[in-house]
Amino acid sequence: MKTTYREAMRTAIRDALQRDERVFLMGEDVGAYGGCFAVSLGLFEEFGPERIRDTPLSEAGFVGAGIGAALGGMRPIVEIMTVNFSLLALDQLVNNAATLLHMSGGQFNVPLVIRMTTGAGRQLGAQHSHSLEGWYAHIPGLRILTPATLEDARGMLWTALEDPDPVLIFEHGTLYNVAGDLADDAGPVDISSAAVRRPGQDISLITYGGTLPAVLDAATQLAGEGIDAEVLDLRVLRPLDDAAILGSVAKTHRAVVVDEGWRSGSISAEISARITENAFFDLDAPVGRVCSAEVPLPYAKHLELAALPTAERIVAAAREAVGTRG
Amino acid sequence: MTGTSARGTGNADSDHARHLLRQMLRVRRLEEQCVELYSAAKIRGFLHVYIGEEAVAAGVTSTLAPDDAVVATYREHGHALLRGVPAGAILAEMYGHVEGCCRGRGGSMHLFDAGTRFYGGNAIVAGGLPLAVGLALADKMSGRSRVTVCFFGEGAVAEGAFHESLNLAALWQLPVLFCCENNLYAMGTALARSESQTDIALKAAGYEIASWSADGMDVLAVEEAARRAVDAVRAGGGPHFLELRTYRFRAHSMFDPERYRDKKEVSRWMERDPINTLRTALEASGQLSAKDWKSIQQDVDTEVEAAVEFAEAGTPEPLEDLTRFVYSERSPE
């Protein structure tokens, strides 16, 4: 069937609400407004205000309440409008959600799912455009998902709700309108492995989330130049699928990591480090990276574009890696 | 309210008053033991004792049902003990032993116990309030008549999480009782130096939450206030708020030289020691004999001695278990 990323996500939420009465959605404007990005549009009318629960603007309060409700036996889905706003709930996420199981010696797990929008590309300026999922991937106790395809938008949520521990789902804002075909019987997918989106022999382009379309574009352009790129979609930033990353590099001997986060102290740095730690002698070229410019994202369209990973920059990085002969 | 005037002379009342006295003494002796063990380097980390404030935890917890939940702060040994966490498991936790209530993963500031629905042990000031709101939300959505009690100090009132939590609880009419343990100092910062409005119950009333204050040095007054509030919460009356005015006799932690308060002020409050006050009142009204008091003390001493022995005999968790409990351990399907 034809659908969009947004609709696939909505179908996943509806499916979860129907399957398990402990599930409810809570967040700012998820109900009467229909969701800031219209993901939950119509669900308020369908499920009512108890289960599609509008909250005040109080991220620490409602994220913490989601943790408490999870401890109390519910299966909350908490929506935070954007990753930048999640910083207002950082205490609850890092000091409670991620630590309670450990501090309690294994007694209190937190079966909570948090969804939020991430990323740039919509001229929203420096307080609505950052990609901080890599920060969250730093935290033991959290699982970090970055659905980039319709299948993952449809399928990751239910598996996340079945996880006994907190799961954060980062939805890149530019993906919501992506349209395509989704199998009629599409359903839950795994939330532990990376996926090869395009097999190739010459170089591994490793990415996740919002930059997957640009990376696939780049791979198509590279194919026209005789460079056969493999595209690996990480899907999960914590825990990283080391076997998939190293397996791809063992085959292609070259890697470029594409990450919309800033380069310094980033998830791309972590991936690059793991490759050099574990596959150094497989490499025929230094690991390349394409990240965002180290600047708070600007509003002006030409500046924002210049700051972000684009297919052109990815192609250039791949050419450089392939041009380096081992 | 004049709580400690000997109200009622029935046997049940006397038994109950003696029970409260015993509960406060259990906390006092456990805390004194903690200080001693800290000085002997058996316990490390930060240690915050509850000496002087016992009437608050004893009075409030005595009104709770077994399946009610408690969320507390980093000064929570007493709350855990009074909710039924064994003294031995509490001390073993501070020893960092696997027999501790959190296997030594939490320490003094992070006591948890699933069996008694004791949800910490939260060392981020005001961080526990949103959790309590969520626990109450789960109960309300599931149609259960349980109460969640959240303890926090008056320092928490300055945090945003306090205001967000009170608003949510009132907006959604959740079954939660907020208990502000107002001991007048947030570490070393006096209430009047940190709040533009020092009437804390008034702040809660601003959120349309029924709130009142009680003398936190008088266990009977605390209990009466808490019973009224807990009954109202359980009956579906929405969140309630108690400001319990109390005082910390000891330093904030073991690293506090107490430069911020006058020794005379401490002495004045110590004259209102909640244990002595109740004991004296019960003795005066003939509800506590010398023999009764001696027996209570002996029982408590025995309990604490046994707890120390239990903790001493504990074992460190094997190093190969270091990374357990970061994620849930799932049994193979």
Q: Write down all domains in chain B, each with its CATH number in brackets.
A: 11-311 (3.40.50.970)
Report cis status (omega within 30 of 0) of the bond before A239: yes
- Rounded to a whole number of angstroms, the distance from the CA of B116 to the nearest CA of chain A is 11
CA distance linking residue B130 with residue B196, whole number of Å: 23
Whole-number pLDDT of residue B330:
79
Question: pLDDT per residue over A221-245, tens digit each?
Answer: 999 999 999 999 999 999 999 999 9
| Encoded tokens for B52 | 């002087």
Chain A CB within 8 Å of residue B113 CB: yes
CATH class of A2-181: alpha beta
CATH number for the domain formed by residue range(s) A195-323: 3.40.50.920
Is-contact A68 B132, C-beta < 8 A? yes
Partner-chain contact B142 A103, CB within 8 Å: no
Which of A56, A69, A101 has the CB atom closest to B137's CB atom?
A69
Active site residues per annotation of A = 59, 128
Domains A2-181 and A195-323 share a fold: yes
pLDDT at B1 over 70: no
Please determine, for residue A71, whether its predicted confidence score (pLDDT) is greater than 80: yes
Residue of chain B with shortest Cα separation from A51 = B141
Q: Judging by DSSP bridges, how do beta strands A179-181 and A229-233 pair with one another? A: unpaired
Q: What is the pLDDT of residues A263-277, one digit of tens each?
A: 999 999 999 999 999
Q: Where are the domains of chain A?
A: 2-181, 195-323
Q: What is the pLDDT of residue A193?
A: 98
Instruction: List C-alpha distances in Å: B108 to A104, A289, B48, B152, B300.
Output: 12, 45, 8, 16, 20
Residue B6 predicted with pLDDT over 50: no
Other CB atoms within a 10 A radius of the CB of residue A198 amount to 16
Per the omega criterion (within 30 degrees of 0), is the bond before B121 cis? yes
Per-residue pLDDT at A83 exceeds 60: yes
User: How far apart are the CA of B318 and the nearest CA of chain A, in angstroms?
Assistant: 13
Complex ipTM: 0.95
pLDDT at residue A324, as a whole number? 58
CA distance B150 to B275: 23
The whole-number average pLDDT for the span B24-44 is 97
Are the CB atoms for A293 and A306 separated by under 8 Å? yes
Phi-psi label, residue B208: left if phi above 0, alpha if psi -120 to 50, beta otherwise: left
pLDDT on residue B254: 86
**pLDDT, tens only, B151-167:** 999 999 999 999 999 99
The DSSP-derived string for A155-181 is HHHHHHHHSSS-EEEEEEGGGTT-EEE
- Alpha-carbon gap, residue B247 to B330, rounded angstroms: 45
Sign (positive or negative) of CA dihedral B197, B201, B205, B209: positive
- What's the pLDDT score for residue A238? 98
Residues B189 and A89 sit within 8 Å (Cβ to Cβ): no
SS (H, E, C) A176-221: CCCEEECCCCCCCCCCCCCEEEECCCCEEEEECHHHHHHHHHHHHH
Alpha-carbon distance of A11 to B72, in angstroms, equals 39
Give the DSSP H or E segment for B40.
none
Per-residue confidence band for B12, with pLDDT thresholds at 50, 70 and 90:
confident
User: What's the gap between Cα B302 and its chain centre?
Assistant: 22
